[in-house]
Structure 1
Amino acid sequence: MTLSTEDILALPKVVLHDHLDGGLRPATLIELAGEIGHELPSTDPEELAEIFATNANSGDLVRYLEAFAHTTAVMQTAANLTRVAREAVLDLAADGVIYAELRYAPEQHVSGGLSLQEVVEAVQAGIEEGVSAALEAGYAIRAAAILDAMRHLDRSAEIAQLALDNRGTCCVGFDIAGPELGFPAANHREAFQLLREHHMPVTIHAGEADGAASVGEALGLGSARRIGHGVRIHEDIDGFGGEELVLGVIAQHALDMQIPLECCPTSNVQTAAASSIADHPMHELRNLGFAVTVNTDNRLVSGVTMSSEFAALAEVGWTTEDFFEATLAAAWGAFLPYDEKADLAELVIEGYGIDL
């Protein structure tokens, strides 16, 4: 059965990988940039969004990353951080998302004089405002934050402690993001040791710009409960795409432990982690039983929504049942207490009308 736009919008969605600084509304970015005198490529919302999308689809990573210099420039005050977070929650809710984990790097938002603690409190205020405003608009959504440390910088131990200090109030987990190739997880050994000792949920960007060994390091040294992207884990599977497969230690571990892979279809193509949506490794990984989930990564920068990602997958053969399985995997992979994950999973089951 072909899924219509309305069908896809109505499906309950769970997003585990959505960058706050990659998902601003174009009009908001233009307004806030004007207030501080920051020059943008365009001051027309539609044209600005098109410029970012064109850059993302150019195959040039430098052009893809240009957008973040603009978005982070306007995210240096408490008021602006709160607004961006509030609008992100509202936009996700209107797109059928019932649970979202928004991630951001506090260290990228202190050039205006905010402390790291003030940054996380400002974002949390926006998340809470967004949830309340969405409910008033008729949408039920729950949202939380994940704190990123940057792979190529040296503040990960500090951000890990920040995450622990704000556990249960302003964040639910920790991540390392930024350039993967050349900046291994091992550089952040101290942070991961601290997080392990305190049983803090960790997800790590891996298997996007680097190969399966990077995923292995994330799962081993980093004790990651989820993998951001993770699509290149297929490089640890001999005969991938064929009938006779031999899983390596890394792939077998991820499969056995049902480690959620936070796949972001469009972004993965844009960053060359996948050659196309049709040939994305996530399809075969799903067929093999891996816990594949669907995510946006950067809604503004990549020009996507959860619904548009679902639509792109539907065009290459994904069915309602496939979306249900991926969404249920995301629900069980959420950084929530077990009983709350069970409640979220029940909402997914009810929303899809699945009789288990």
Structure 2
Amino acid sequence: MPISSDTVRRAPKVLLHDHLDGGLRVETVIELAREAGYDRLPTTDPDELAAWFLGAAHSGSLVRYLETFGHTVAVMQTREALTRVAAEAAEDLAADGVVYAEVRFAPELHVEGGLDVDAVIAAVLDGFRIGTERAAEGGRVIRIGALLTAMRHAARSREIAELAVRHRDAGVVGFDIAGAEKGFPPTRHLDAFEYVRQQNAHVTIHAGEAFGLPSIWEAIQWCGTDRLGHGVRIVDDIATTEGAAGPEHRIGRLAAYVRDMRVPLEMCPTSNVHTGAAASLAEHPIGLLTELRFRVTVNTDNRLMSGCTMTSELTDLAEVFGYGWDTLEWFTVNAMKSAFIGFDERVALIRDVIRPGYAALTGGAAGPPARRPGRSRPAPPG
């Protein structure tokens, strides 16, 4: 089938990097604000508010982008609000064809209404369960795991790490840190990362988005992260020159380590353009990193702020870079291989859901993606 929004929506998709407070329905923001007596929204017209969020996100500044969360977090301070937002997230992702998702949130940001952090987590997990059940009633099956995020400018990371371990049998699959990178290196939270690893739990770290290679190096070599949230600046360690047969790439030691060790990159193309991490989608490092076969995954980051879905992300990449179904399947399998759930469950989803789903769209079993149009050398697996 030709690649279009309609056909890509039918494809099974895997999402590893999505923020709960960045994916609310705009109507829900307005309704929750009214119920909470929150009067600081720039407008209560749904279309105007959606445009406002997108405009603020597209400012080219990560700091400005992060300011938009003040509004969504403000209306997510009760158990009912958190459960509703989580349930709607599950339903919306399932409707978009996502079969597995890891959705992250920072418990410490949702205690202003009197909830404690355990109650915040319980409310969100209840919402995911409710939304998953509703999706199943409509014929959509989705599996959702929660990632608990600590704010890198705060001092509660060890506490959040302990919560991630405490609630892992209830649906929490890993630990994350987020927030402004500059001035807040991940090594400030070494005790949290050490605790998580000692407990045989999983870590992903926002790194290499607004800050460069030192952030990535610390996240990997000091903090032991399993995945890199964004990681776009790894291209700073790749030098490209024009050779007789075309572009030639010299991969530095850090980038080579990331590729050799198959460290997953949670790439969020639209969001990266909005925050200034990439000048445009056509210039996004995902093109080069895909060609060089890093462990690239495609994600939404913040569906409300960036006005995107997994369907729109994959469709836009296919249009801009000329990707076919084989590459879209490769992105999806990469993500499923990198998920923070058990090996057997990952294999089952690839074998029973993802491969058959893409085969139905391509008329047969899809193989590994070609390197790029005009390149005949086959791609390695993984």
Q: What residue number does 1:26 align with?
A: 26
Q: What residue number does 2:168 align with?
A: 167
Q: Which moved more, 1:293-302 or 1:235-244?
A: 235-244
* Displacement of 1:70: 0.6
3-state SS in 1 of match to 2:315: helix
Q: What residue number does 2:338 align with?
A: 333
Q: Which moved more, 1:11-20 or 1:58-67?
A: 58-67
Describe the superposition over 1:161-195 as per-residue Cα deviations: whole angstroms up to 9, x where unpaired: 11111112130000000011110011001101111
Do residues 322 (structure 1) and 327 (structure 2) align?
yes
Residue type at the aligned position of 2:316: A
Q: What residue number does 1:312 align with?
A: 316
Q: Which moved more, 1:343-352 or 1:200-209?
A: 343-352
User: Does the aligned pair in 2 maintain the 1:16–1:100 contact within 8 Å?
Assistant: yes
Residue type at the aligned position of 2:299: N
3-state SS in 2 of match to 1:193: helix
Q: Which moved more, 1:132-141 or 1:346-355?
A: 346-355
Q: What residue number does 1:348 align with?
A: 354
Describe the superposition over 1:254-278 as per-residue Cα deviations: whole angstroms up to 9, x where unpaired: 1111111000010001111111101
Flag the 1:146–1:270 CA change in 2: closer, same or farther, 3 A. same
Flag the 1:188–1:128 CA change in 2: closer, same or farther, 3 A. same
Residue type at the aligned position of 1:233: I
Q: Distance in 2 between matches of 1:43 and 1:62?
A: 24
Superposed structure 1 runs of 4+ greater than 4 Å apart: none
Any residues of structure 2 matched to 1:90-101 within 5 Å, and which?
Answer: 90-101=91-102
* Displacement of 1:204: 0.5
Q: What residue number does 1:64 align with?
A: 65
Q: Distance in 1 between matches of 2:241 and 2:312?
A: 28
Q: What residue number does 2:87 align with?
A: 86
Do residues 290 (structure 1) and 294 (structure 2) align?
yes
Do residues 261 (structure 1) and 276 (structure 2) align?
no
User: Does the aligned pair in 2 maintain the 1:151–1:183 contact within 8 Å?
Assistant: yes
Q: What residue number does 2:371 align with?
A: none
Q: Which runs of 5+ in 2 are unaligned?
A: 360-364, 368-382
* Displacement of 1:240: 7.3
Q: Distance in 1 between matches of 2:287 and 2:347?
A: 26
Describe the superposition over 1:215-268 as per-residue Cα deviations: whole angstroms up to 9, x where unpaired: 111111121111100011111123378733332222111111111100001000
Q: Distance in 1 between matches of 2:249 and 2:27?
A: 49
* Displacement of 1:2: 4.5
3-state SS in 2 of match to 1:174: strand
Q: Distance in 2 between matches of 1:5 and 1:196?
A: 40
Describe the superposition over 1:68-107 as per-residue Cα deviations: whole angstroms up to 9, x where unpaired: 0110001111111010000000000000100010000000
User: Does the aligned pair in 2 maintain the 1:121–1:170 contact within 8 Å?
Assistant: no
Do residues 122 (structure 1) and 123 (structure 2) align?
yes
Q: Distance in 2 between matches of 1:119 and 1:11?
A: 33
Q: Distance in 1 between matches of 2:6 and 2:114?
A: 44
* Displacement of 1:299: 0.3
Q: What residue number does 1:17 align with?
A: 17
> Given the alignment, which residue of 236, 243, 248 partners 1:244?
248
3-state SS in 2 of match to 1:299: coil
* Displacement of 1:64: 2.1
User: Does the aligned pair in 2 maintain the 1:234–1:240 contact within 8 Å?
Assistant: no
User: Does the aligned pair in 2 maintain the 1:192–1:221 contact within 8 Å?
Assistant: no
3-state SS in 2 of match to 1:293: strand
Q: What residue number does 2:374 align with?
A: none
User: Does the aligned pair in 2 maintain the 1:106–1:116 contact within 8 Å?
Assistant: yes
Do residues 301 (structure 1) and 302 (structure 2) align?
no
User: Does the aligned pair in 2 maintain the 1:120–1:170 contact within 8 Å?
Assistant: no
Flag the 1:26–1:240 CA change in 2: closer, same or farther, 3 A. farther
Bigger Rg, which one: 2
Do residues 275 (structure 1) and 262 (structure 2) align?
no
Q: Distance in 2 between matches of 1:168 and 1:280?
A: 37
Do residues 35 (structure 1) and 41 (structure 2) align?
no
Q: What residue number does 2:362 align with?
A: none
Q: Distance in 2 between matches of 1:341 and 1:329?
A: 11
| RMSD between superposed Cα atoms in Å | 1.4
TM-score, normalised relative to structure 1 = 0.97
* Displacement of 1:62: 4.2
Q: Distance in 2 between matches of 1:135 and 1:267?
A: 29
Q: Distance in 2 between matches of 1:168 and 1:245?
A: 44
Any residues of structure 2 matched to 1:184-223 within 5 Å, and which?
Answer: 184-223=185-224
Percent identity reads 53
Residue type at the aligned position of 2:295: A
User: Does the aligned pair in 1 maintain the 2:259–2:295 contact within 8 Å?
Assistant: yes
User: Does the aligned pair in 1 maintain the 2:21–2:69 contact within 8 Å?
Assistant: yes
Q: Which runs of 5+ in 1 are unaligned?
A: none
Q: Distance in 2 between matches of 1:355 and 1:207?
A: 32
Q: Distance in 2 between matches of 1:66 and 1:217?
A: 26
* Displacement of 1:355: 4.8
Q: Which moved more, 1:119-128 or 1:215-224?
A: 215-224
Flag the 1:23–1:292 CA change in 2: closer, same or farther, 3 A. same
Flag the 1:230–1:60 CA change in 2: closer, same or farther, 3 A. closer
Q: Distance in 1 between matches of 2:250 and 2:168?
A: 40
Q: Distance in 2 between matches of 1:214 and 1:199?
A: 23
* Displacement of 1:36: 1.4
Q: Which moved more, 1:147-156 or 1:247-256?
A: 247-256
